[in-house]
Amino acid sequence: MLKWRTVALALWMTAVSSLVHAKQLAIVVDSANATTNLTAADLSKIANLKTRNWPDGKLVTIIMRDPSAADMQLVLSRVLNMTPEQARTFIQAHKGAIQIADSDDSVLRFVSSNRGAIGIVDLYSLNKDVKVVKIDGKLPVEQGYLLRGN
Amino acid sequence: MISRLSVILLAVGLAFGSAAAQTDSRATVLPLTTKSAKARRLVDQAWDLAVDQVEQVKGIKVLRKAVKADPNFAMGHEILAQMSLDPSEQVGEQRKAFATKRHASVTEQTIVDWFQDAAEHKLIPAITNMNDVLGKYPHDRWVVYLASNWLTQQTQFDRAAAVYEHSGIADSPGLMNNTAYSYAYMRQFDKAFALMDKYVVALPKDANPQDSYAEILRMAGHFDEAIEHYNAALAINPEFYSSQFGIADTYSLVGDQVRARQEYELAFRKFPLPALHRIEWKTREAITYIRDGDLKAADTAFQAIADYAHANGMSQVEADTYRQMAMCQIHSQQALLYLSKAETAIHEGNNVMPGAVQQEFAQILRARVELAIKTDDEQIADATLAQLAELSGNSDDKLIEAAYHGAAGALLFSQHDYEHAALHLEEDIHNPLSLKLLAAAYQKTGNTVDGKRTGEVLANLNDPTLEQAMIVPAFRRCIQNPSCDSGFTNASFKR
């Protein structure tokens, strides 16, 4: 037996988690970064290293999970437009500009302590040390947000 | 069980070197701020009762004494708000926690803000507040309990389990129990059973471990073993009503509705229940008639629940009951009537958190969209879906979003736009109604692998809910029948 709220939850939330859950990924930057919104096109240019500097001139450093991680599939398909293998090769060729972390916590620690860093984490990993950037004016919790889905 | 040190290392990761040192420096116990030693002692007692022994009613009574001993005990109010079985108390205690938070420590204030944000559907601040607290006190039992419960409510079962695994708390039977359920919700039954084995050993003279084991076995489809464990729980404690009702639920799931109702009636006669538990199992009893296809009897049973809820000022329960009645109707006019009653009840809003009003309203709108689809009224379906989209767009509540996506997916499916329907339905995979359509949408778009996998998940759902009753038995019959094309015909009802 569980407490009521959990039991009540089961009315809605039957056990189907062997299916893929829709993910919500957040784009985060360091708190000092003045950018509050990126267009999907801006984000794609940053991820593909076509844009290397922020408007204030700071160098962009990208940090993300391994492209083969399940969470990163949305990024590959909607931002990088690459297969996991292509992404791995691309990252390998640009080691200084793109870094790979082994966890969302690592991404958050890196972003919070490196000016100009931009990271990608699961919505539920967010903490107060980083700033969430909107994409096309939308936060991860809003409908139509780019990095939301399977 | 892995060692405490291993758990800590796993929790923080190794990528940036200083993590282990950071963990060691973090305090283990969150100090509770109260001027009353009695209140602090009572909260400890409430933990033992409500969490570890799952004696919720007794634990809640103790918590009430704690906040009476110190009315400015913000964390006491917050814990009571999260544990209470009474909707009006949940609302009132959350208000008191917020009103008294100035008497609390900074971390306790963050906890109160976390739940206040959650109640107001401000998801991002709620998440950051939760993670802030977890970052400071990852090993504190109350923090771990509150976080894993909230994450479970958010359907973040993997995170809920991770909070426990990373806490290093190995001596809390209650947390083992909660985490086993998280694994069960993820259908990781091996991990769930492993925790259950430890839970049973930890509390050999307690009924709840056997009861929980039974429920998880039932979720996995092991019905006979489930009943054995329920009986074992009752042998330990004949007053453990959850097990008596669990037996009834299990008979209902295996298709013996007569026996199920006998077991429900036996339990109702034997045990006085808290209001929400009574309603929960009265609803399950009403569902037995749906499983029998006897809609008239189901209506009578549901109406009694709605009347009880109305008389006791429980607007959300009343609204939800009318909504469920609407979902089962053959005749659209009758369904509309029940949906109107549901809307009236939820707008009365007695003893309901503002967020819960919106959640219920979203479910009602979803039911209206589905009804409009059934009656081929595309105009109403579009207009109602637009209303639901607006509600969802102005909220970051997962249940409201799921309601929108379920409704949008159903409408697109009815318009044969299977590809886009699947995109929406994937956002509502906890609801058998959407799961059924999703399996079909995958099949129709040639994605047979996902179609088969989704169908298997649906066929193996063993939760005693209305949606399961409406969808799963018929789906199982259909997939066993070669002449049944899609398997997606609804169960027939008799009047």
Whose CA is closest to B335, among B306, B293, B361, B299? B299
User: Which whole number is the average pLDDT over A10-20?
Assistant: 40
CA distance A23 to chain B (A): 9
For residue B345, which amino acid is it? A
Would you state the pLDDT for residue A96? 85
As a whole number of angstroms, the distance between CA B398 and CA B323 comes to 19
As a whole number of angstroms, the distance between CA B426 and CA B401 comes to 12
As a whole number of angstroms, the distance between CA B300 and CA B325 comes to 10
As a whole number of angstroms, the distance between CA B483 and CA B467 comes to 24
Query: Across all residues in chain B, what is the average pLDDT?
Result: 89
CA angle B458, B225, B457 (to 5 degrees): 10
As a whole number of angstroms, the distance between CA B478 and CA B490 comes to 10
Q: Which token pair is B166? A: 């990373």
List residues bridging with A132 in a β-sheet: A28
The three-class DSSP label of residue B362 is: helix
Instruction: Decide: A52 and A97 in contact? Cβ < 8 Å.
Output: yes
Q: Cβ of A114 under 8 Å from any chain B Cβ? A: no
pLDDT grade, residue B404 (50/70/90)?
A: very high
CA distance A92 to chain B (A): 18
Lowest mean pLDDT among A129-133, B115-119, B151-155: B151-155
**Per-residue pLDDT tens over the stretch B233-254:** 999 999 999 999 999 999 999 9
Return the number of other C-beta atoms located less than 10 Å from residue B492's C-beta. Answer: 8
Query: Across all residues in chain A, what is the average pLDDT?
Result: 85
Q: Which of A15, A101, A128 sits opposite B219 (nearest CB)?
A: A15
Pairing status of strand A130-135 against strand A23-30: antiparallel
Half-sphere exposure in the Cβ direction for A41 (13 Å, CA) = 0
B222 CB-near residues (< 8 Å, 6+ apart):
none
Half-sphere exposure in the Cβ direction for B421 (13 Å, CA) = 24
Would you state the pLDDT for residue B53? 82
Instruction: Decide: A141 and B396 in contact? Cβ < 8 Å.
Output: yes
Would you state the pLDDT for residue B395? 76
pLDDT of A18 strictly over 80: no
Q: Which of B280, B396, B435 sits opposite A16 (nearest CB)?
A: B435
**Per-residue pLDDT tens over the stretch B327-369:** 999 999 999 999 999 999 999 877 777 778 889 999 999 999 9
B337 CB-near residues (< 8 Å, 6+ apart):
none
Q: Which of A9, A12, A146 to mutate to test the interface with B (most CBs of B within 10 A)?
A: A12
Asked if the Cβ–Cβ distance from B124 to A126 is below 8 Å, we say yes
**Per-residue pLDDT tens over the stretch B55-110:** 888 999 999 999 999 999 999 999 999 999 887 899 899 999 999 999 999 999 99
B488 CB-near residues (< 8 Å, 6+ apart):
B436, B437, B440, B475, B478
Flag whether the pTM goes above 0.90. no
Give the DSSP per-residue string, A29-96: EETT----EE-HHHHHHHHTTS--B-TTSPBPEEEEE-TTSGGGHHHIIIII---HHHHHHHHHHTTT
pLDDT of B312 strictly over 80: yes
pLDDT of B274 strictly over 80: yes
- Chain B residues with CB-CB distance to A9 below 8 A: 152-153, 155
Nearest-CA residue of chain A relative to B149?
A6
pLDDT of A71 strictly over 90: no
CA distance B304 to chain A (A): 19
Asked if the Cβ–Cβ distance from B127 to A150 is below 8 Å, we say no
Assembly ipTM: 0.88
- Chain B residues with CB-CB distance to A131 below 8 A: none
pLDDT grade, residue B2 (50/70/90)?
A: very low
Nearest-CA residue of chain B relative to A22?
B427
pLDDT of B431 strictly over 60: yes
Instruction: Provide the percentage of residues in chain B whose pLDDT is more than 70.
Output: 92
pLDDT of B1 strictly over 60: no
Q: Which of B429, B442, B449 to mutate to test the interface with A (most CBs of A within 10 A)?
A: B429
Nearest-CA residue of chain A relative to B152?
A6
As a whole number of angstroms, the distance between CA B210 and CA B219 comes to 14
Half-sphere exposure in the Cβ direction for A149 (13 Å, CA) = 16
- Chain A residues with CB-CB distance to B422 below 8 A: none
User: Which whole number is the average pLDDT over A5-21?
Assistant: 40
Whose CA is closest to B474, among B463, B453, B459? B459
- Exposure of B416 by Cβ count < 10 A (0-12 exposed, 13-18 middle, 19+ buried)? exposed
Q: Which of B12, B158, B426 sits opposite A150 (nearest CB)?
A: B426
- Chain B residues with CB-CB distance to A123 below 8 A: 123-124, 127
Instruction: Provide the percentage of residues in chain B whose pLDDT is more than 90.
Output: 75
pLDDT of B15 strictly over 80: no
- Chain B residues with CB-CB distance to A70 below 8 A: none
Asked if the Cβ–Cβ distance from A16 to B404 is below 8 Å, we say no
User: Which whole number is the average pLDDT over B122-136?
Assistant: 95
Asked if the Cβ–Cβ distance from B15 to A106 is below 8 Å, we say yes
Asked if the Cβ–Cβ distance from B389 to A2 is below 8 Å, we say no
As a whole number of angstroms, the distance between CA B129 and CA A128 comes to 7
Lowest mean pLDDT among A83-87, B181-185, B195-199: A83-87
Query: Is the model more confident about B374 or about B401?
Result: B374
The three-class DSSP label of residue B155 is: coil
Asked if the Cβ–Cβ distance from B242 to A128 is below 8 Å, we say no
Q: Which of B15, B159, B181 sits opposite A6 (nearest CB)?
A: B181
CA distance B405 to chain A (A): 10
pLDDT of A150 strictly over 80: no
- Name the DSSP letter for residue B31: P
| Mutual angle of helices B74-83 and B37-46, in 10-degree steps | 20
Q: Which residue has the tokens 């984490």?
A: A121
Q: Phi/psi of residue B100, each to 5°? A: -105, 10
Q: Which token pair is B141? A: 């039992």
Q: Which token pair is A71? A: 């969470």
Instruction: Decide: B468 and B432 in contact? Cβ < 8 Å.
Output: yes
CA distance A126 to chain B (A): 5
Would you state the pLDDT for residue B485? 60
Nearest-CA residue of chain B relative to A103?
B13
User: Which whole number is the average pLDDT over B203-218?
Assistant: 95
Asked if the Cβ–Cβ distance from B393 to A132 is below 8 Å, we say no
User: Which whole number is the average pLDDT over B289-303?
Assistant: 96
Nearest-CA residue of chain A relative to B160?
A124
- CA torsion angle A101 A107 A110 A111 (round to 10): 140
- Name the DSSP letter for residue A148: E
Distances (CA, A) of B339 to B332, B333, B361: 10, 10, 10
CA distance B337 to chain A (A): 23
As a whole number of angstroms, the distance between CA B300 and CA A24 comes to 42
pLDDT of B258 strictly over 80: yes
Instruction: Decide: A19 and B457 in contact? Cβ < 8 Å.
Output: yes
Give the DSSP per-residue string, B328-345: T-SSHHHHHHHHHHHHHH
Q: Cβ of A57 under 8 Å from any chain B Cβ? A: no
As a whole number of angstroms, the distance between CA B125 and CA B370 comes to 33
Query: Is the model more confident about B171 or about B232?
Result: B232
User: Which whole number is the average pLDDT over A127-148?
Assistant: 91
As a whole number of angstroms, the distance between CA B408 and CA B68 comes to 48
Instruction: Decide: B285 and B261 in contact? Cβ < 8 Å.
Output: yes
Q: Cβ of A70 under 8 Å from any chain B Cβ? A: no
Query: Is the model more confident about A77 or about B286?
Result: B286
Query: Reduced to 3 DSSP states, what percent helix, strand and coil does chain A have, rounded to the nearest 5?
Result: 35, 25, 40
Would you state the pLDDT for residue B155? 83
Q: Which token pair is A112? A: 């919070």
Lowest mean pLDDT among A131-145, B187-201, B396-410, B474-488: B474-488
Return the number of other C-beta atoms located less than 10 Å from residue B41's C-beta. Answer: 14
Q: Cβ of A50 under 8 Å from any chain B Cβ? A: no
**Per-residue pLDDT tens over the stretch A91-137:** 989 988 999 999 999 999 999 999 999 999 999 999 999 999 999 99
Asked if the Cβ–Cβ distance from A1 to B54 is below 8 Å, we say yes
**Per-residue pLDDT tens over the stretch B217-233:** 999 999 999 999 999 99
